[in-house]
Amino acid sequence: MKSTNSIQKDIISNFQTLDDDFEMILNYLIELGEKLDEFDVEEKKDDNLIKGCQSKVWLSYKIIDNKLFFSGDSNTSITKGLLSLLIKVFSNQTAEEIIKTKLFFINETGLCRFIGTQRSNGLESMENKFKIIALSNKK
Amino acid sequence: MKSTNSIQKDIISNFQTLDDDFEMILNYLIELGEKLDEFDVEEKKDDNLIKGCQSKVWLSYKIIDNKLFFSGDSNTSITKGLLSLLIKVFSNQTAEEIIKTKLFFINETGLCRFIGTQRSNGLESMENKFKIIALSNKK
Amino acid sequence: MSIKSFNPNRIRNKFPILNKKINNNQLVYFDNAATTQKPIQVIESINKYYSEYNANIHRGIHTLAEKATQEYEKTRKTVSKFINSRSEKEVIFTRGTTEGINLIASSFVKNFIKKGDEIIISEMEHHSNIVPWQMICEENEIILKTINVFENGEIDLDNFKELISNKTKFLSIVHTSNTLGTVNPIKEMIEICKKNNIITMIDGAQASAHSKIDVQDLNCDFFVLSAHKMYGPTGVGIVYGKEEILEKMPPYMGGGEMIKDVNFKKTTYNELPYKFEAGTPNIGDVIGFNEALSFINNIGLDNISLYEKELKNYASNSFNEIEGINIIGNSKNKIGIFSFTVDKIHYYDLGLLLDSKGIAIRTGHHCTQPLMDKFNLEGTARVSLAIYNTKNEIDYFVEKLKQLIN
Amino acid sequence: MSIKSFNPNRIRNKFPILNKKINNNQLVYFDNAATTQKPIQVIESINKYYSEYNANIHRGIHTLAEKATQEYEKTRKTVSKFINSRSEKEVIFTRGTTEGINLIASSFVKNFIKKGDEIIISEMEHHSNIVPWQMICEENEIILKTINVFENGEIDLDNFKELISNKTKFLSIVHTSNTLGTVNPIKEMIEICKKNNIITMIDGAQASAHSKIDVQDLNCDFFVLSAHKMYGPTGVGIVYGKEEILEKMPPYMGGGEMIKDVNFKKTTYNELPYKFEAGTPNIGDVIGFNEALSFINNIGLDNISLYEKELKNYASNSFNEIEGINIIGNSKNKIGIFSFTVDKIHYYDLGLLLDSKGIAIRTGHHCTQPLMDKFNLEGTARVSLAIYNTKNEIDYFVEKLKQLIN
Ligand SMILES: Cc1ncc(COP(=O)(O)O)c(C=O)c1O
Ligand SMILES: Cc1ncc(COP(=O)(O)O)c(C=O)c1O
């Protein structure tokens, strides 16, 4: 199992090949979102909802062998792509590992472009949701 | 007796010799003020007061042969100079002449420099006082 | 300048930002309802103020203060002419439309509206013309009523008439909707109000850069606008109010400038318009606003309206040809503001994808959530046009949008 | 940079206006308490905003909006560090000190002060820290008390302690007097307030450009300031408030930006600091303010204080040698603000005559009429110094003033 940090480093190097081309980044994010596993419609309930300024995100999880596995969905393709990255980082990790993870890939990839200050709700509250889930499942 | 307009023209040509030199204009105004006839202390009462933003002006008048004669004073030398010009224009005139006079010398001499918008109280309310006196003495 | 000789490129050259590249594409700025760009003469006048005659105004007697005061007050004169107010005293500087509405809501209500009275707004109002009324109504137990808006984005005048009762004291209505582009029949509405002794306030934020405003002809009691939506700087707005009403209103804020005499026993307030301008105002930008108005006046609002109408019709026809697009708001009388959704693409994705092509549009609820709720929408994408936009830009936009849809 | 290497000429070069001639004389700008001049970096950053990335902020997702939002919020971060607030949420943008005080007076009183309670201010307050309290006290039947000021311009601390009762709920006090230059013992006063559960507001308009402000160290509940008195643009100010208090306060104005969800049934407000920032803010000037703070930070407030103290002492000594001058305000702890009268020359004449020599001073009541009344004055002439002023300028001023007196 890779550490959250090394997964983040992988993401960063993937994004580096995109050369800061805004259009390519968007299309890559959309592709990533499309690759996410289908989200169970039953899980599209308010409890699992993270409401951003312009988009909605749903997040659910399972625990297998002490590790958390996340799945999620969004009504916007680009947000879904961002979400898929967070799922990649946090899935298959213990609650402890999730809690202590610092997300540095967002700044380094330039994806902070999508964390406008008041829209921080977007990415920031996504991150918070992961951490809260982890906290509530800590031993 | 000169008309108010020709007195104004005289004032303008006097000021033209000062070449827009701000210091000379101020000194000239102060001199003009000093030449004003002594103001009767008894006339320094609230009825005769025109309150500007930073200076006070007193104005009184007599009527001789249907003509108004003004005298005035101010607690600031420069305002007193300005006042003396208004007295020059309006004194020895009939009420009717005063009422219909348009003051153009203020703009043309650049003395509008002293009529800051909120301080308009200064020159503008001085002019108003002359006109009100004239109105109340109209036949 | 007649419309024939009207050359958008000559105008574009006056806007430094329009030469910028965004994400390697030429900027296409279609977010004008949020804020317009600024011509060089506005930018330079602010620069000049700070470089040559910056000083605090009104009380100072030194040369810089004098010059700054004159230039500041010159803007008031220009505004007064621009909206055709009877007097400069009727022109109060604010930070923008929002502050203006709050000023009116707060100061007017204190004197003229009582518990149980009614205020009318419409369903298409911007939050800035909703929330101040909600706040003041709640505090003072006043009833807030809203005029119905039809599916096509027009206001329901019959419903408006029905809402009026002898308790109705105030109407606050948007001139031109920032979401739908609808131009409301405000003159007619104001007339109805006059007959019923209802005071009227017009939210002119989206109107003032696009069509001639004549407050005397409208006969409204209040009119508010924002400079930043009129090619002027941020941080400046206007409240126009009829002198006799402003005279009777208590001041909004207290402080320097708005007083005549301050005394711990009895403070007296300054005359209009200063009574409503507490503290050091936004001097630099008020001065800059004068140049924005010059810019508009030089082209002429007639020419602007004419050109923008042509542009709007062109855009409207082009958009209607796009498959999968739904235009929200099809009022017969509207300006170049197009809210739309696209089947299968969320407006948020649309906004970002178009941005990657250099096209700046706005997405979301446009601060008109009640209207969104009414139309069962969470948000829309919005294209809003201004005088420097061109048919070429519309073509480019349509091309890119079609590519995204297919 | 140590004070040894401190070179006022290097700083002067950054201010385009300081090269200007006024009435054929080199400008000597001694009206800094009214507003300071602006360094080129402030002017250029405003220019750059309008030329390169002007857009409305927070809601937009296109590149310009994103960039404008980031730069706007960067200023908030810088301010937060500058005053050492715990969090950026505690920094609210306003038009200036006056609006800040009105915001506090209006929103705070609604929740925390009741009929019969008492608010304390001092006799040396600026009108902006008097009138808002008078207005709100009258409306809500609250009692306004004023702390005595001694002949030498210092505050009467004993009187302050006497005024405190169990009804006292609020102290609003000026950090540094704009008329007297007095620096009040606010830390001591705040401590006394804390012991008596009194909320404190500091008017920092005259302090913030001249000495280090640390709101946590002061432990005040509110602190207000104006950018234009800190080498920044007009139209921008700050309210600092402790988060837990701001959280409990209702919003001041309603409108766009300050809401979370708007609904005709129930509107919910945004989180801090946005709850208090309704409508499109003064984006361009907030961004410019960041450069003003950089300018100050680059020199360092320690260096600024040190140099300005030297300048103040030099001025003080020079002025004391002038026959016929009366300095109003001789507090032991004061900054370079000198109010004075001259026997036989009215301050208005003085102001104009000095202006003819290129010297800009302020004359009048300086928006502190109650203080003038107390000292039996109608007004004074006032010299107020800033970081770009020099001993040479003081010498020139003294020379010209002596000529006028003789
Ligand atoms: C001590 C003090 N308080 C408040 C103010 C008001 O500041 P502003 O006019 O920027 O709102 C001033 C400005 O002169 C001041 O000196
Ligand atoms: C119709 C309408 N009213 C009010 C406003 C608020 O204007 P401001 O944000 O400049 O205060 C806007 C701005 O979007 C608007 O479009």
pLDDT tens column, B24-78: 999 999 999 999 999 999 999 999 998 777 888 999 999 999 999 999 999 999 9
- State the pLDDT at residue B19: 86
Q: Residue B125 — pLDDT band, cuts 50, 70, 90?
A: confident
Letter string b/e over residues D85-107, b meaning 16 or more CB atoms within 10 A of that residue's CB: beebbbbbbbbbbbbbbbbbbbb
**Nearest by CB: C131 against D54, D255, D369:** D255
Do B and A touch (≥3 CB pairs < 8 Å)? no
Distance CA C93, CA C274 (A): 9
Whole-number average pLDDT of chain C: 96
The whole-number pLDDT of residue A115 equals 60
pLDDT at C2 over 60: no
User: Contact A130/A59 with Cβ under 8 angstroms?
Assistant: yes
| A51-55, C259-263, D79-83, D379-383: segment of lowest average pLDDT | A51-55
B100: exposed, middle or buried (Cβ count in 10 Å: 0-12, 13-18, 19+): exposed
Indicate the residue of D61, D63, D69 with minimum beta-carbon distance to A117: D69
Confidence class for position D329, pLDDT limits 50, 70, 90: very high
Widest Cα–Cα separation across chain B: 43
Q: How confident is the model over C353-377, as pLDDT tens digits?
A: 999 999 999 999 999 999 999 999 9
The mean of the pLDDT values for chain D is 96
Cβ-defined contact of D262 to C62 (cutoff 8 Å) = no
Q: Could you tell me how many residues make up chain C? A: 406
The alpha-carbon gap from D294 to the nearest alpha carbon of chain A, in Å, equals 22
Across C198-258, where does the E strand assignment appear? 199-203, 222-226, 237-241
Q: Which H helix or E strand runs over C341? A: strand C337-342
Both tokens of residue C11?
Answer: 């105008």
Give the model's confidence band at C1: pLDDT under 50 very low, under 70 low, under 90 confident, else very high.
very low
Ligand 2 site residues, Cβ closer than 6 angstroms:
C 33, 96-98, 126, 128-129, 174, 178, 203, 205-206, 226, 228, 367; D 256, 279-280
Residue A128 sits at the chain D interface (C-beta within 8 Å): no
Tens of pLDDT, residues D163-215: 999 999 999 999 999 999 999 999 999 999 999 999 999 999 999 999 999 99
- Chain C residues 348-377 with CB within 8 Å of chain A: 348-349, 352-353, 355-357, 363-364
- Cβ of B31 under 8 Å from any chain D Cβ? no
Task: Give the separation between CA C304 and CA D247, rounded to whole angstroms.
Answer: 46
The DSSP bridge partners found for residue B70 are: B61
**Chain C (278-297) residues lying within 8 Å, Cβ to Cβ, of chain D:** 278-285
Give yes or no for residue A121 having a pLDDT over 80.
no
| The amino acid at D224 | V
Q: Give distance in angstroms: CA of C383 to centre of ligand 2.
A: 16
CB-facing half-sphere around the CA of C325: CA atoms within 13 A: 25
Q: What is the pLDDT of residues D229-282, one digit of tens each?
A: 999 999 999 999 999 999 999 999 999 889 889 999 999 999 999 999 999 999
With an 8 Å Cβ cutoff, are A22 and C348 in contact?
no
Provide the CB-side half-sphere exposure for C68 (13 A, CA). 29
Q: Give the DSSP H or E segment for A10.
A: helix A4-16
| Residue D294: alpha-carbon gap to chain centroid | 18
Show the ligand 1 pocket: residues with CB < 6 angstroms.
C 256, 279-280; D 33, 96-98, 126, 128-129, 174, 178, 203, 205-206, 226, 228, 367
Query: In Å, what is the CA distance from C109 to each residue of C135, C142, D235?
Result: 11, 10, 27
D41, with CB counted inside 10 A (0-12, 13-18, 19+), is middle
pLDDT score at C110: 84
Q: Residue range A79-86: average pLDDT?
A: 94
Nearest-atom index, ligand 2, CA of C98: 11
**What residue of D is the nearest CA neighbor of B76?**
D346
User: What number is the average pLDDT over the span A73-94?
Assistant: 94
Give the closest-approach CA distance of D244 to chain A in angstroms.
20
Over residues C181-225, the pLDDT tens digits come to 999 999 999 999 999 999 999 999 999 999 999 999 999 999 999
**Per-position DSSP letters for D84-95, written without gaps between them:** T-S-GGGEEEES
The reported pLDDT for the residue numbered B23 is 93
Residue C292 alpha carbon to ligand 2 centre in Å:
18
CA gap D261, D275 in Å, rounded:
12
- Quick: pLDDT tens for A3-25: 999 999 999 999 999 988 999 99
**For residues D219 and D186, what is the distance between their CA atoms, to the nearest angstrom?**
10
Question: Are the beta carbons of D393 and D150 closer than 8 angstroms?
Answer: no
Mean pLDDT to the nearest integer, A62-71: 96
- Distances from the Cα of B138 to the Cα of B62, B97, B134, C216, angstroms: 14, 10, 6, 35
Nearest-CA neighbor of C207 among C122, C134, C304?
A: C304
Q: Which atom of ligand 1 is nearest to the CA of D97?
A: 11
Domains, in order of start, for chain D: 3-36+300-405 (3.90.1150.10), 44-297 (3.40.640.10)
Task: Report the percentage of chain A scoring pLDDT > 70.
Answer: 94
- Please determine, for residue D3, whether its predicted confidence score (pLDDT) is greater than 70: no
Counting Cα atoms < 13 Å in the Cβ hemisphere of D393 gives: 26
The phi and psi torsions of A59 (rounded to 5 degrees) equal -140, 130
Which of C139, C145, C201, C134 lies closest to C168, judged by CA? C145
Counting one residue from chain A and one from chain D, the pairs whose CB atoms sit within 8 A come to: 21
Peptide bond into D273 cis (omega under 30): yes
- Residue C120, pLDDT > 70, answer yes
- Of residues A107 and B80, the one with the higher pLDDT is B80
Please tell me the distance in Å from A17's CA to the nearest CA on chain D: 21
Q: What is the pLDDT of residue D28?
A: 98
CA-based nearest residue in chain B for residue D352 = B26
Of the listed ligands, the closest to the CA of D229 is 1
The rounded distance, in Å, linking the Cα atoms of B71 and B59 is: 6
State which residue of chain D sits closest to A116, comparing Cα positions.
D66
- CA of C266 from ligand 1 middle (Å) equals 21
DSSP structure string for D305-336: HHHHHHHHHHHHHHHHTSTTEEEE---SSB-S
D401: closest CA among D367, D329, D358, D353?
D353
Report the chain A residue with the minimal C-alpha distance to residue C378: A54
Query: Beta-carbon neighbour count of residue B30 at 10 Å?
Result: 18
Task: Say what the pLDDT of residue B115 is.
Answer: 60
Average pLDDT, chain B: 89
Q: Which CATH number fits domain A4-136: 3.40.50.280, 3.30.470.10, 3.90.1010.10, 2.40.160.20?
A: 3.90.1010.10
Contact assessment for residue D115 and residue D140, using Cβ atoms and an 8 Å cutoff: yes
CB proximity list for C318: less than 8 A, separation 6 or greater: C394, C395, C398
The residue nearest atom 15 of ligand 2, judged by CA position, is C205
Asked if residues B49 and B65 have their Cβ atoms less than 8 Å apart, the reply is: no
Residue D2 pLDDT greater than 90, yes or no: no
Give the Cα separation of D123 and D146 in Å (integer): 6
Contacts of C392 (CB under 8 A, 6+ apart): none
SS3 C239: strand
Structure-model confidence comparison of residues A122 and D245, the more confident one: D245
Q: Which of D119, D371, B55, B46 is nearest to C263 (CA)?
A: D371
Does the pLDDT value for residue B121 go beyond 60? no
Residue C100 Cα: closest atom of ligand 2: 11
Q: How confident is the model at residue A123 (pLDDT cuts 50, 70, 90)?
A: confident
Cα D147 → chain centroid: 20
**Contact check, Cβ <8 Å, C348/A30:** no
User: Rounded to an integer, what distance in angstroms lies between the CA atom of residue C287 and that of residue C285?
Assistant: 5
Q: How far apart are the first and last CA of chain B?
A: 20
The single residue listed with the structure tokens 């961004």 is D287
Query: What is the per-residue pLDDT for B120?
Result: 47
Residue B117 to residue C59, Cβ atoms within 8 A: no
Contact A85, A72 (CB under 8 A): no
pLDDT at B124 over 90: no
B112 is catalytic: no
Residue A131 near residue A100, CB atoms below 8 Å: no
Residue D4: per-residue pLDDT = 55
| Partner-chain contact C102 D254, CB within 8 Å | yes
Return the pLDDT at A120: 47
Terminal CA-to-CA distance of chain A, rounded, Å?
Answer: 20
Q: What's the CA gap between C45 and D339, in Å, rounded?
A: 33
pLDDT in tens, D364-374: 999 999 999 99
* Cα C115 to Cα C107: distance, rounded to the nearest angstrom: 15
What is the DSSP code string of D164-220? --TTEEEEEEESB-TTT-BB--HHHHHHHHHHTT-EEEEE-TTTTTTS---HHHHT-
Q: Pick the closest to residue C360 from C333, C397, C395, C404 (CA basis).
A: C397
More confident residue, D317 or A122: D317
Residue nearest to atom 7 of ligand 1 (CA): D97
C134 interface with D at CB cutoff 8 Å: yes
Distance CA C203, CA C105 (A): 13
- Residue A14, helix vs strand vs coil: helix
CA-closest candidate to residue D39, choices D288, D227, D231, D300:
D231
